[in-house]
């Protein structure tokens, strides 16, 4: 087990102690503590409990008019008092998680340079490529989890440059909120290799390195310098890659996944939460996984990752790999992937449909074959969107799907909300209430003909914090594909829809810590079975997980 409280500088006094968010208690410092740490006169005399502080903080939060103002308030609170911040979030998790992370974090990334207040984490810029190790050496505490981005593909918003730092900050907030990872043992990092976003470069407030993006061999060299510096300073850390361009994300994961404890959440985390939710959707609808056909709109990191995870799930059911692949109809910007196309890379070509089978549709293979053709001819029963293209699931396509699928499973996963391929309300209308729906961003329940349909947010927060908790608790040395499969299956097991046909596919966020613990146990057990964590008894394993989970309370 790696984790525990290890924040250094615990002997700080006076203003230095109050300004340290890991040590600050604000008005909750006791009289004795105020005398011991030189705080008399620096704080108002009334001593409050954490509960009273949280009540006052919620009052202030509630006065903010817009989601971005609420986000700024919470970020400022986090920079002032980590314990109070997480106590507030735990008490209002369903209300505040969308403010801390998606969808509001997208706007926060776009406006990052304008709402920047205090430094958090590390900005590792290309001009400093020769001193990355020296920068990391200045971190004066032990770190269990790093989340890193290069800001090139932020959510569905594209290149945000240094503004992408909002993503690692938000992700690590969820590691603590959902998984109980101690906040002092997390570190957000932005690899600033420039930006090709002209709006950012022309913004006089932009705080990043004002240069077009570094790519090619120089990019790979910088990433390698970063990885080697991380390994030297934090050899046992869990390193999560986030919101990299697909071409870089896949290459980086392939290069380093066997070199340190690392994973890519866009590829593997998205795949696990989507697979778990799809398994729940199929089971809730009374079907079997091996009877499904899949339409995947989007062939980026998320789409390919989901496809790979579902193929693995089918293989566990006894389906051959060739047969499993044949059930997937993947589409990118140039249409359906088929093996007559000459523009497919080594990752996507093995997942392409056989051209001979597609020819039977009577289509010209030299032309793009779109979603409407796939639905009409392949008749998928599961449709997943990972495109960032709002409205990509049109009424005609959805009605066609509903004409042959008794309970069409439709997941418009793109976020933020404005980028969803369809709204749940439209999907319910177009399918006469038959669709089983989950989305990538939060949507309100849909009432259709008197029936209320709770819309699950197929959010990675159900998986990656639990992965981190399980990995840290047992000291896993690597992250395996089977650990993500274990997470997906454990997520399916707690789906409310399995016992309530009108229930949500995923548990409510208010239960997220219970869900995270359940998944973490499954992940930790799988790590031991895979030989990447030392064995321990089931009792010791669960005890390790419970000891790792931090609860926001003052010492």
Q: What is the pLDDT of residues 382-430, one digit of tens each?
A: 999 999 899 999 999 999 999 999 999 999 999 888 899 999 999 999 9
- Topology at the third CATH level for domain 268-459: Rossmann fold (3.40.50)
Which residues of the chain does CATH 3.40.50.10380 include?
14-260
Distance CA 418, CA 448 (A): 22
Q: How confident is the model at residue 173 (pLDDT cuts 50, 70, 90)?
A: very high
Distance CA 252, CA 246 (A): 10
Residues 6+ apart with CB under 8 A from 440: 102, 411, 412, 413, 414, 415, 420, 457, 458, 459
| Tokens at 495, concatenated | 């789906």
Contact 93, 85 (CB under 8 A): no
Q: Which CATH code is given to the segment(s) 14-260? A: 3.40.50.10380
Would the annotation count 242 as a binding residue?
yes
Q: What is the pLDDT of residue 4?
A: 44
Q: What is the pLDDT of residue 7?
A: 61
Q: What is the pLDDT of residue 345?
A: 93
Would the annotation count 400 as a binding residue?
no
**How many distinct helices (H) and strands (E) make up the chain?**
24, 14
Would the annotation count 459 as a binding residue?
yes
For residue 187, list its beta bridge partners: 146
Interval 449-472 mean pLDDT: 95
**442 has a pLDDT exceeding 90:** no
Distance CA 487, CA 464 (A): 9
Bridge-based pairing state of the strands 335-336 and 328-332: antiparallel
Neighbours of 123 (CB within 10 A): 18
pLDDT above 90: percentage of residues in the chain: 94
Helix (H, G, I), strand (E, B) or coil at 65: coil
**441 has a pLDDT exceeding 90:** no
Neighbours of 376 (CB within 10 A): 15
**2 has a pLDDT exceeding 70:** no
Task: Report pLDDT digits (tens) over 489-523.
Answer: 999 999 999 998 778 999 999 999 999 999 999 99
Contact 299, 382 (CB under 8 A): no
Q: Which residues are the active-site residues? A: 101, 171
Interval 360-378 mean pLDDT: 95
| Tokens at 498, concatenated | 């399995």
Contact 466, 253 (CB under 8 A): no
* Phi-psi map region of 203: left, alpha, beta (phi>0 left; psi -120 to 50 alpha): beta
Would the annotation count 339 as a binding residue?
no
Q: How confident is the model at residue 8 (pLDDT cuts 50, 70, 90)?
A: low
Distance CA 537, CA 359 (A): 56
Contact 238, 471 (CB under 8 A): yes
Q: Which three-class secondary structure string do you get for 256-290? A: HCCCCCEEEHHHHHHHHHHHHHHHHHHHHCCCCHH
Which residues of the chain does CATH 3.40.50.720 include?
268-459
Would the annotation count 243 as a binding residue?
yes
Neighbours of 496 (CB within 10 A): 18
Q: How confident is the model at residue 114 (pLDDT cuts 50, 70, 90)?
A: very high
* End-to-end Cα, the chain, rounded Å: 21
């Amino acid at each position: 087990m790696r984790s525990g409280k290890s924040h250094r500088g615990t002997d700080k006094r006076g203003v230095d102690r109050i300004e340290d968010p890991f040590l600050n208690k604000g008005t909750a410092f006791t009289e004795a503590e105020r005398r011991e740490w030189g705080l008399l006169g620096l704080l108002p005399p009334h001593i409050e409990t954490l509960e009273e502080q949280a009540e006052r903080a919620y009052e202030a939060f509630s006065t903010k008019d817009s989601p971005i103002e609420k986000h700024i308030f919470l970020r400022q609170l986090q920079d002032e008092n980590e314990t109070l911040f997480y106590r507030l979030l735990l008490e209002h998790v369903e209300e505040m998680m969308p403010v801390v992370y998606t969808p509001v974090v997208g706007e926060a990334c776009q406006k990052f340079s304008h709402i920047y207040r205090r430094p958090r984490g590390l900005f590792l810029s290309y001009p400093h490529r020769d001193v990355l190790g020296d920068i990391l050496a200045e971190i004066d505490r032990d770190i269990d989890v790093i989340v890193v981005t290069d800001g090139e593909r932020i959510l569905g918003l594209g290149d945000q440059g240094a503004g992408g730092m909002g993503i690692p900050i938000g992700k690590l907030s969820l590691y603590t909120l959902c998984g109980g990872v101690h906040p002092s043992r997390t570190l957000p990092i932005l690899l600033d290799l420039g930006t090709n976003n002209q709006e950012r470069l022309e913004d006089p407030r932009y705080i990043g390195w004002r240069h077009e993006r570094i790519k090619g061999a120089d990019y790979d060299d910088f990433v390698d310098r970063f990885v080697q510096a991380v390994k030297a300073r934090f050899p046992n850390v869990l390193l999560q890659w986030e919101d990299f361009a697909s071409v870089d994300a896949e290459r980086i994961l392939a290069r380093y996944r066997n070199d340190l404890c690392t994973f890519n959440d866009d590829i593997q985390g998205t795949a696990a939460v989507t697979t778990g939710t799809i398994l729940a959707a199929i089971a809730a609808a009374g079907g079997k996984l091996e009877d499904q056909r899949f339409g995947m709109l989007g062939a980026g990191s998320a789409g390919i990752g989901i496809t790979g995870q579902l193929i693995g799930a089918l293989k566990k059911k006894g389906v051959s790999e060739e047969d499993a692949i044949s059930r997937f109809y993947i589409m990118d910007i140039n249409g359906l992937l088929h093996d007559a196309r000459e523009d497919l890379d080594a990752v996507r070509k093995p997942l392409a449909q056989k051209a001979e089978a597609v020819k039977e549709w009577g289509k010209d293979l030299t032309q793009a074959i779109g979603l409407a053709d796939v639905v009409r001819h392949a008749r998928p029963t599961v449709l997943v969107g990972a495109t960032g293209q709002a409205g990509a699931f049109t009424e005609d396509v959805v009605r066609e799907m509903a004409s042959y699928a008794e309970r069409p499973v439709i997941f418009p996963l793109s976020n933020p909300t404005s980028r969803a391929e369809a709204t749940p309300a439209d999907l319910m209308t177009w399918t006469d209430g038959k669709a089983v729906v989950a989305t990538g961003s939060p949507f309100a329940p849909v009432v259709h003909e008197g029936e209320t349909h709770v819309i699950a947010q197929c959010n990675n927060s159900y998986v990656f914090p639990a992965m981190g908790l399980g990995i840290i608790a047992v000291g896993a040395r690597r992250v395996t594909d089977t650990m993500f499969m274990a997470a997906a299956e454990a997520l399916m097991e707690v789906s409310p829809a399995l016992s309530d046909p009108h229930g949500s596919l995923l548990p409510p966020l208010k239960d997220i810590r219970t869900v995270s613990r359940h998944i973490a146990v499954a992940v930790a057990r799988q790590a031991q079975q895979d030989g990447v964590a030392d064995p321990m008894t089931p009792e010791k394993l669960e005890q390790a997980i419970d000891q790792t989970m931090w609860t926001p309370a003052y010492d």
